[in-house]
Amino acid sequence: MTGRFSAGAPVPTDDRPNEECGVIGVTSPSEEVGELVFFGLFALQHRGQEAAGIAVSDGVQARLHKADGLVGQVFTPAAMSPLQGMNGIGHTRYSTTGGVGTRNAQPFLVETVHGPLAVAHNGNLVNAGELRTELLTRGFGLTASSDTEVMTLMLASAGGPTWEDRVARTMPAWTGAYSVVLLVENRVIAARDPWGFRPLSVGRLADGGYVVASETCALSTLGCREISEVLPGEIVTIQGDTVRRRQALVPAVTPARCTFEFVYFSRPDSVWDGLSVHGVRQRLGEELAREASVVADVVVPVPDSSIPAAVGYARQSGIPYNDGLIKNRYIGRTFIEPTPVMRKRGVAMKFNALTENLAGKRVVLIDDSLVRGTTAGPLVQLLRDAGATEVHLRITCPPIRHACHFGVDMGHDDDLIAAHLTLDELRDVVKADTLGFLSLEGMMRAVGRDGGYCNACFTGAYPVAAGAPRRKDSFERVLGAVPG
E-strand ranges in 132-175 read: none
Name 66's bridge partners: 53
Phi, psi of 146, deg, nearest 5: -105, 145
Strand order, beta sheet including 362-367: 298-301, 362-367, 390-395, 434-437
DSSP 251: P
Helix (H) or strand (E) holding 340: helix 340-345
Contact by Cβ (8 Å): 367, 376: yes
Active-site residue flag, 21? yes
Report d(CA 114, CA 412) in Å as an integer: 40
Query: How far apart are alpha carbons 238 and 202 in whole angstroms?
Result: 9
Quick count: other Cβ atoms within 10 Å of Cβ 77? 6
- 192 phi and psi, to 5 degrees? -135, 140
Which of 21, 224, 258, 404 is catalytic? The answer is: 21
Query: CB within 8 A of 74, min separation 6: which ones?
Result: 51, 52, 53, 65, 66, 67, 68
CB distance 217 to 267 below 8 Å: yes
Question: What does residue 171 show for φ and ψ, rounded to 5 degrees?
Answer: -55, -40
CB contact set of 455 (below 8 Å; sequence gap of 6+): 259, 398, 440, 443, 444, 461
For 192, the 3-state DSSP assignment is: strand
Q: What is the DSSP string of 116-132?
A: EEEEEEEEEETTHHHHH
* Buried-exposed string 412-432: b where 16+ CB fall within 10 A, e elsewhere: eeeebbbbeeeeeebbeebeb
Give the C-alpha distances (Å, rounded to integers) separating 438 from 157, 284, 393, 445, 458.
Answer: 47, 8, 11, 11, 11
- Answer whether 366's CB lies under 8 Å from 310's CB: yes
Among all residues, which ones are annotated catalytic? 21
